Amino acid sequence: AQSVTQPDIHITVSEGASLELRCNYSYGATPYLFWYVQSPGQGLQLLLKYFSGDTLVQGIKGFEAEFKRSQSSFNLRKPSVHWSDAAEYFCAVGAPREYGNKLVFGAGTILRVKS
Amino acid sequence: EAGVAQSPRYKIIEKRQSVAFWCNPISGHATLYWYQQILGQGPKLLIQFQNNGVVDDSQLPKDRFSAERLKGVDSTLKIQPAKLEDSAVYLCASSLGLADLTGELFFGEGSRLTVL
């Protein structure tokens, strides 16, 4: 079965600083990997996704993530954080064929941005 | 394109009362999901429908939770009787279908339930 670990519950960064949110997954084959963002009182919005090919994927709002099979990781990065990036970020793993297009989510990382 | 619609956005009930949540997925999306998100945790799948059939309800507490998608479009999730631990945000999501290779789910804004 798939599982996702997000080791950091909270992260605080200064506005303009770089950001990296960690995600480790467990799955036997090549997974489909996603990062979603959730602002307070809102639903989940897709930032980016990885299926195959180039292991560095670009998403919306200036985010990118890199898939590293050897480390079972899919870390999210942003070179310069804006105050509006403060939100909760969820990493998710899916395997559409094997698991009927379901996603398994990590526990989330809350990002705080200080000015 | 209209997104996933959910109602009500907020609901407060006493324990042992009942509550129902409604979801209308994106037009043309065959697969519909209900996720439960408890404060401080990631969303957990409760039930998945493909059209009007259940694909997976292994995590649904069937003694108190029920869900239906009678015409293969909108869906209702019911809790009866509610317990304190049911306090959570109930997220509805939809996707094109089981054959969709993108695997992307589209989420509604959620229904926040508080059980007192």
Q: What's the CATH fold of domain A3-114?
A: Immunoglobulin-like (2.60.40)
Each residue's pLDDT tens digit, A17-64: 999 999 999 987 778 899 999 998 888 999 999 988 889 999 999 999
CB of A40 closer than 8 Å to CB of A34: no
Model pLDDT, residue A31: 83
CB of B51 closer than 8 Å to CB of B98: no
C-alpha A57/C-alpha A36 separation (Å) is 14
- Tokens standing for A14? 């200064």
Model pLDDT, residue A16: 97
Model pLDDT, residue A2: 81
Kindly report the CATH number assigned to the domain that includes residue B67. Answer: 2.60.40.10
Partner A contacted by B82 (CB < 8 A) = no
Partner B contacted by A34 (CB < 8 A) = yes
CB of B36 closer than 8 Å to CB of B107: no
User: Structurally, how many domains does chain B consist of?
Assistant: 1
Q: Which helix (H) or strand (E) holds A17?
A: none
CA distance A6 to chain B (A): 10
Task: Determine the structural domain holding residue B63 and report its residue range.
Answer: 5-115
Non-local (6+) Cβ contacts of B95 within 8 A are A101, B29, B30, B31, B33, B103, B104, B105, B106
Say if the Cβ atoms of A94 and B103 lie within 8 Å: yes
Each residue's pLDDT tens digit, B23-56: 999 999 999 999 999 998 999 999 999 988 999 9
